[in-house]
Amino acid sequence: MHKSNISIDVYLDEDKVPEQIKWKASDSNADMEQKAKAMMVSFWDGADKSALRIDLWTKEMMVDEMADFYYQLLMTMADTFNRATNQPELTADMKEFAKSFLKKFKDLQLKENQ
C-alpha cells in the first residue's frame, strides 16, 4: 500500500487570525511548499454521518477572490459529485447554481461600488 501525505502549516497572528497558509503534498510535482490565501478541507465521518471541515482564509484574501474561490469550489464539487454518483442532471443544476451565485455576487459588487 502506498502512503501519501499532505501537510498544511497555518501561521497565525497574536489574535490567532491566519496570516499565511502553506501546504505541501508528498505526491505533488511541486518541490516547494505552496502558498494559499484560503483553504477548505472536508472529511466524511461515516459513523456519525456528518461532514467535518476546516475553513480558513488569510487577512490578504479579498472579497472578490473569495467569491471566485467559492465559484470554483462549487464547479469542482459538481464534477466530483458527477464522478461519484453519475447524476448529470443534478450536476448541471449545481453548476447552474454556481454560475448564478457568481453573477449575483458581481452584480452586488457593481451596485455597491456605484
Sequence spans of domains, the chain: 1-59, 62-114
Rounded Cα gap, residues 8 and 40, in angstroms: 11
Beta carbons of 92 and 82 less than 8 angstroms apart: no
Query: pLDDT, tens digit, for every residue of 36-68?
Result: 999 999 999 999 999 999 999 999 999 999 999
pTM for the full predicted model: 0.88
Beta carbons of 81 and 92 less than 8 angstroms apart: no
Does the pLDDT value for residue 74 go beyond 90?
yes
Rounded Cα gap, residues 107 and 99, in angstroms: 12
Average confidence score pLDDT of the chain: 95
Query: pLDDT, tens digit, for every residue of 17-43?
Result: 999 999 999 988 877 899 999 999 999
